[in-house]
Structure 1
Amino acid sequence: MDSSSYKLYHKHEPDSRTMLQAYFSGDPEMAFKDDSLMCLMEKLHNAFDTGHMTGKLLIDISAGPQIHHLYSACGFFQEIILMRTNEKCIMEIMKWQNDRTGAFCWGHTTAHVSSLEGRSDDCEAKEMKLKSAITHVVKVDPETETLTDLIGVPQADCVIALALLDAICKDQEDYMRNLRKIIKLLKPGGHLILIGGTNATYYTVGEHKFHMFTYDENFVRNALVAEGMIVLQCDVTPRKSESHLTDYDGILFLTACKQK
């Protein structure tokens, strides 16, 4: 398939439940267990465990309805605001947060993060703590000049962006423009965590292929430096999963600080 015919995440809205089942479920046959679950949660646990990233407000602006990457964060921030670009993701998250029938089960991830923290019997408490910390789930339009134009969200102490830039950016110019919008969400001295898949061109949800912006570690590092950010950590973990659903070759994990 010609990559120009791939769908765009924020315009064509992939099915949220199908995405969760394919990339984040607790199914033993789920191909991405090491990459999207175990590796990611361990990196986030280690990053927050240093105690350097803490404060009142964390904003998570990510692609998809996943919330497992926030379990470690909720112990270091009083309030978490989720920003999502499509209604299906918001509905999926709200179903989980409000304990509605048919909500996606994240028990496999609470068990893992509780184990990382040395509290293997604390799964239910961990889930309740995250649900309580999330105060707003809001829809944003990535094509507006400023992501907070209509919703009046204050600048955050920390912003997490998981795969959003991968999913919505068409080229390098687009990436830089959207990166600036995300950086504007941060207070001076605040921290940014960027997570994504390197050298990817597509991911699949159901029968549909969706576009992914292709980049490598050096591109992202240089982009942040160009925007005045101080890169604190930047590493790529080689892909472990075997699946034709997507073609990234590694998981990028980067932390940076906004200069005062």
Structure 2
Amino acid sequence: MDSGSYKLYHVHGYDSRQALEDYFADKPDMAFVEDSLIFPIENLTKTFTEGHFKGDVLIDLSSGPLVHHLFMACEIFRHIIVLRVRDRCILELKRWLDTRTGAFNWGHATKIHLEKEDKSDQLLNKEEKVRSVVQHVMKCDVEQENMTDPIVLPPADCIISAWLLDKISKDQDDYIRYLRKFSGLLKPGGHLILIGCLDTTYFTVGKEMFHFLTYDEDFVRKALVGEGFVIDNCVVKKRTAVSDLIDYKAGIFIAAHKEK
């Protein structure tokens, strides 16, 4: 398939539950445990325990119905606002938040978090803490000047964005344009955490293939600096997964803060 015919995540949407089963599930043949679960969890735990992050409000602008990247943030911030671009992702996420029958089981990710925190006996307490701190789940439109119009969000102390910029950006100019919008939601001095994949062209959910922006570490570093950020930490991890569902070469985790 020519890359120009790949679908766009935020335009066409995908089967959110299938995406979770393909990339985040707890099953013996899940190829992405190290890259999609352990890698972000390790780096988020290290980042949030270093003591540089503080404040009340965190905004999560990520792809899909993900929650595992918020398990450490709930120990730092009192209010988490989750923004998603697709209704189906919101419904799947709310199913877990409301502990409904048939919700995706994130217990394996919770256990990884607790092992990193040396609190392996507190699984239920950790999940309930996340549910209590995630106070709003809202749809957003990344093309609007105010992505949550008519609601105006409070300036955030921190934003986490996991794999969203990679999927919605048709080219590198798009990436910078969306990054600028995300930055506009931050307080001066606020922190931004980006989780993404390097040198990727596509990802697959079910039988559908979707666009994924191709970029390298140098590009994202320059993009952040160009938008007024100071990079505090950058970790690149070479791919370990053996799968043709997605063709990334490495994962990237970047923590930065917005200059005052």
Q: Quote the Cα distance in structure 1 between the aligned partners of 2:150 and 2:241.
A: 40
Contact 1:35–1:239, Cα closer than 8 Å, also in 2: yes
Structure 1 SS opposite 2:78: strand
Contact 1:68–1:106, Cα closer than 8 Å, also in 2: yes
Within 5 Å, give how 1:110-149 maps onto structure 2: 110-149=110-149
Give the counterpart letter for 1:171 in structure 2. Answer: D
Offset from partner CA, 1:107-150 (integer Å, 9 cap, x none): 00111111111111000000000000000000001111232432
Q: Quote the Cα distance in structure 2 between the aligned partners of 1:238 and 1:150.
A: 42
| Partner residue, 2:218 | 218
Contact 1:217–1:235, Cα closer than 8 Å, also in 2: no
Q: Quote the Cα distance in structure 2 between the aligned partners of 1:110 and 1:234.
A: 24
Give the counterpart letter for 1:29 in structure 2. Answer: D
Structure 2 SS opposite 1:77: coil
Structure 2 SS opposite 1:197: strand
Offset from partner CA, 1:49-91 (integer Å, 9 cap, x none): 1011121000000011010011011000001000000000000
Contact 1:61–1:161, Cα closer than 8 Å, also in 2: yes
Within 5 Å, give how 1:78-227 maps onto structure 2: 78-227=78-227
Contact 1:166–1:213, Cα closer than 8 Å, also in 2: yes
Contact 2:238–2:249, Cα closer than 8 Å, also in 1: yes
Give the counterpart letter for 1:200 in structure 2. Answer: T
Deviation at 1:45, TM superposition (A): 0.4
Contact 2:141–2:148, Cα closer than 8 Å, also in 1: no
Q: Quote the Cα distance in structure 2 between the aligned partners of 1:140 and 1:104.
A: 23
Structure 1 SS opposite 2:56: strand
Structure 1 SS opposite 2:130: helix
Give the counterpart letter for 1:134 in structure 2. Answer: V
TM-score, normalisation: structure 1: 0.99
TM-score, normalisation: structure 2: 0.99
Give the counterpart letter for 2:168 in structure 1. Answer: I
Structure 2 SS opposite 1:141: coil
1:24 maps to 2:24 = yes
| Partner residue, 1:238 | 238
Structure 2 SS opposite 1:230: strand
Give the counterpart letter for 1:72 in structure 2. Answer: M
Contact 2:146–2:152, Cα closer than 8 Å, also in 1: no
- For these two proteins, the number of residue pairs brought into alignment is 260
| Partner residue, 1:257 | 257
Structure 2 SS opposite 1:103: coil
Stretch deviating more after TM superposition (14-23 or 143-152): 143-152
The 4+ residue runs of structure 1 with deviation greater than 6 A are none
Deviation at 1:158, TM superposition (A): 0.4
Give the counterpart letter for 2:224 in structure 1. Answer: L
Give the counterpart letter for 2:12 in structure 1. Answer: H
Contact 2:139–2:148, Cα closer than 8 Å, also in 1: no
Q: Quote the Cα distance in structure 1 between the aligned partners of 2:12 and 2:149.
A: 23
Q: Quote the Cα distance in structure 1 between the aligned partners of 2:43 and 2:57.
A: 20
Q: Quote the Cα distance in structure 2 between the aligned partners of 1:145 and 1:28.
A: 44
Give the counterpart letter for 1:190 in structure 2. Answer: G
Contact 2:68–2:110, Cα closer than 8 Å, also in 1: yes
Structure 2 SS opposite 1:55: coil
Unpaired stretches in structure 1, ≥5 consecutive residues: none
Percent identical among aligned pairs is 51
Please give the root-mean-square deviation of Cα atoms over the aligned residues, in Å. 0.7
